[in-house]
Amino acid sequence: MWLDLKPEGRVALVAAASKGLGRAVAKGLAEAGNRVMISSRDPAALERSAEEIKRETGADVAWQPCNVTVAADISRLVEQTVARWGRLDILVTNAGGPPPGAFMDLDDETWQRAFELNLLSAVRLIRAAVPHLRAQGGGRIINVSSVSVKQPIPGLVLSNAIRAGVIGLAKTLSVELAPDNILINNVAPGRIETDRVRQLDEAQARKEGRQAAEIRRQHESGIPLGRYGSPEEYASAVVFLASPAASYITGTTLCVDGGSLRSV
């Protein structure tokens, strides 16, 4: 069959996967037949999500707490994944978004935290995973990003600046890792129905003295499909890029945004 999504027993590691986009991606990969390790900082939420995904998909799902701003946590996470299943085939880098704010309101410490959360975490996860991907003769790396890497979002200067670094990293690695048959891509969400987007809508509403529902309608009016996307719709794009069907795609950024991005 030309569109082969069957993973044949591969192992996937998904960071920041106890809720939101990460959880949806983990469930999608589990539904596709992968064995999945999920991580986040909250052990209780992790255990609950892992049990739910197991129950809903019948897949082998494990969990390991990890703060992606701590190098030792990342090393332990990758080691535990390989120790459990003897291999690693798919890495999904992910982390919570940095706080909103205007440029002149953000100090060095805030910039440093955002750098460690959204760029250095990806660097460390990829560096820890690559030897294991090489050992399997190849693999997939997918970075959870944002459409801010294509079109800066007002009030999100940290995300606009730092997430773009992950895109540059991925483009560079798509060349460096191609001889190892390791493909790396980015999937950039637009307005997806998650806690993060709801919080951003609420923050904008407070700043402008309006209702969050009004802010949402305003954003939806700028989306050609006229609505926010679902986490499952986003996850489908990641699952495709992680599958054998995407064997000739690397170094690209796929926007899942309902057509809201206006650039060509």
Q: What is the pLDDT of residue 188?
A: 98
Parallel, antiparallel or unpaired: strands 35-38 and 253-256: unpaired
Q: Over the stretch 167-194, which tens digit does the pLDDT of each residue have?
A: 999 999 999 999 999 999 999 999 999 9
Q: Give the residues of the chain that fall short of pLDDT 50.
A: 1-3
pLDDT of residue 263: 83
pLDDT value, residue 84: 98
| Contacts of 155 by beta carbon, 8 Å cutoff, 6+ apart | 100, 101, 102, 204
CA angle 89, 93, 94 (to 5 degrees): 145
Output the pLDDT for position 200: 87
Query: Which pLDDT belongs to residue 8?
Result: 64
pTM beyond 0.85? yes
Q: What pLDDT, on the 0 to 100 scale, is given for residue 5?
A: 56
**Tens-digit pLDDT profile for residues 5-53:** 556 689 999 999 999 999 999 999 999 999 999 999 999 999 999 999 9
What is the pLDDT, as a whole number, of residue 2?
38
